[in-house]
């Protein structure tokens, strides 16, 4: 059971990161501060242009916020799924494909954080996936 709690602790790190990201995204809907460009005058440009993908896209800023929402929800879903497997249905973790998938998905966030983001998501993802991997390695 100790392994399951270590897995849960790792998933909880991802949950906290996802929840904080979601909170910042919601706050940016009313009063943009967190995810705006460093050059604040570019925010108006983002709000007055759209991405080229489709003509029915409202504006680039809303598309950008939509990405942040989906990113947050994805991390929260991952964290909740891992916690569910560890605490409610540990039998699911006996499947090697599930184990590899859980660790690989978490590791992908480490790679993305290193390539595209900054130190907080990098450190959090590294701690979270390390705990998950250690817990999974302790099983059977």
Taking the C-alpha atoms of residue 34 and residue 119, their distance in angstroms, rounded to an integer, is 16
Give the dihedral of Cα atoms 71, 76, 79, 85; nearest 10 deg: -120
pLDDT band at 12 (very low <50, low <70, confident <90, very high): very high
What's the chain's length in residues? 140
Q: Which range of residues forms the domain containing residue 96? A: 2-138
Q: For residue 26, which of 91, 87, 83, 72 has the smallest C-alpha distance?
A: 72
Please give the tally of structural domains in the chain.
Answer: 1
111-119 mean pLDDT? 91
Instruction: Judge whether residue 15 has pLDDT over 90.
Output: yes
Task: Express each pLDDT in 59-95 by its tens digit.
Answer: 888 888 999 999 999 999 999 999 999 999 999 999 9
Instruction: Judge whether residue 53 has pLDDT over 90.
Output: no
Task: Express each pLDDT in 21-42 by its tens digit.
Answer: 999 999 999 999 898 899 988 8
| DSSP alpha helix (H) spans, the chain | 2-30, 41-47, 60-87, 96-116, 119-138
Taking the C-alpha atoms of residue 47 and residue 134, their distance in angstroms, rounded to an integer, is 44
pLDDT band at 56 (very low <50, low <70, confident <90, very high): confident
Per DSSP, 35 falls in state S
Contacts of 68 (CB under 8 A, 6+ apart): 21, 24, 25, 28, 35
Per DSSP, 100 falls in state H
Give the dihedral of Cα atoms 65, 117, 84, 2; nearest 10 deg: -160
Which of the two residues, 54 and 18, has the higher pLDDT score? Answer: 18
Taking the C-alpha atoms of residue 70 and residue 111, their distance in angstroms, rounded to an integer, is 18
What is residue 9's predicted lDDT score, i.e. its pLDDT?
Answer: 97
């Amino acid at each position: 059971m100790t392994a399951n709690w270590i897995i849960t602790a790792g998933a909880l790190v991802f949950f906290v990161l996802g929840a904080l990201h979601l909170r910042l995204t919601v706050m940016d809907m009313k009063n943009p501060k967190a995810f705006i460009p460093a050059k604040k005058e570019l925010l108006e440009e983002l709000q007055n242009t759209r991405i080229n993908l489709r003509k029915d896209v409202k504006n680039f800023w809303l598309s950008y916020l939509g990405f942040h929402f989906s990113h947050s929800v994805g991390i929260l879903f991952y964290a909740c799924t891992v916690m569910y497997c560890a605490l409610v249905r540990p039998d699911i973790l006996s499947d090697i494909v599930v184990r590899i998938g859980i660790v690989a998905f978490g590791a992908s966030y480490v790679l993305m954080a290193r390539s595209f983001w900054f130190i907080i998501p990098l450190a959090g993802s590294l701690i979270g996936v390390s705990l998950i991997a250690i817990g999974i390695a302790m099983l059977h």
